[in-house]
Amino acid sequence: MARKSGDLYDQVTIRLPEICLNKAEALAILGQSAEAIATLQELRKSRFKPEDLTRINMDGRNW
């Protein structure tokens, strides 16, 4: 959302990957580990080649 200040605009931008990380963190804090991992995996699928994508657990270690 942009806000006009004189001749300039202030704009705040948040990207989808940041929202996904925030969601995964909130789920982990709530003790919903499986949902947190699933959210992270969806984000990772869009970032890694299938052959480089490994599963993760709550320790951050590969399974």
Identify whether the C-beta of residue 37 lies closer than 8 Å to the C-beta of residue 58: yes
Q: Is residue 6 part of a domain?
A: no
User: Which pLDDT value is given to residue 62?
Assistant: 54
Q: Is residue 22 part of a domain?
A: yes
Domain extent at residue 45: 17-52
Residue 1 has pLDDT above 60, yes or no: no
Q: Is residue 61 part of a domain?
A: no
Q: Is residue 12 part of a domain?
A: no
Residue 61 has pLDDT above 70, yes or no: no
Instruction: Give every CB contact of residue 17 below 8 A, 6+ residues apart in sequence.
Output: 43
Identify whether the C-beta of residue 32 lies closer than 8 Å to the C-beta of residue 47: no
**Cα 60 to Cα 57: distance, rounded to the nearest angstrom:** 5
How many structural domains comprise the chain? 1
Q: Is residue 25 part of a domain?
A: yes
Tens digit of each residue's pLDDT (9 = 90 or more) over 14-60: 899 999 999 999 999 999 999 999 999 999 998 888 888 877 766 65
Q: Is residue 31 part of a domain?
A: yes
